[in-house]
Amino acid sequence: MAKDHGPQIKDDALYEELKKQGASSEKAARIANARAAGTLKHNSERLEDRTKADLMKEAARIGIEGRSKMDKAGLVKAIRNHG
């Protein structure tokens, strides 16, 4: 049974699982609350299935430093670990 994180966290079990996977408290809370509210998008594409050009655009949008020197795997890792 998941610990109760108070009224600000709508899905305590998902919040804890995301924290175990290394997500920040803020990111875990956003995802857990979005899933509980039914607003989490499910039509997203896996990062590994996107083109390198798409990953470069995403990396630029979120401000990842050194992206021009990264290969596709490096971009995927940097995007996934951002935040």
Q: What is the pLDDT of residue 47?
A: 86
Run means of pLDDT, 10 residues per run, the chain, 83 residues: 76 88 89 78 74 93 94 93 77
Instruction: Give the chain's count of helices (H) and strands (E).
Output: 4, 0
SS3 of 31-66:
HHHHHHHCCCCCCCCCHHHCCHHHHHHHHHHHCCCC
Rounded Cα distance, 67 and 52, in Å: 11
Domain ranges in the chain?
A: 1-44, 47-81
Q: What is the pLDDT of residue 60?
A: 94
For 32, the token pair is 């857990």
Q: What is the pLDDT of residue 57?
A: 93
Q: What is the pLDDT of residue 6?
A: 73
Q: What is the pLDDT of residue 11?
A: 84
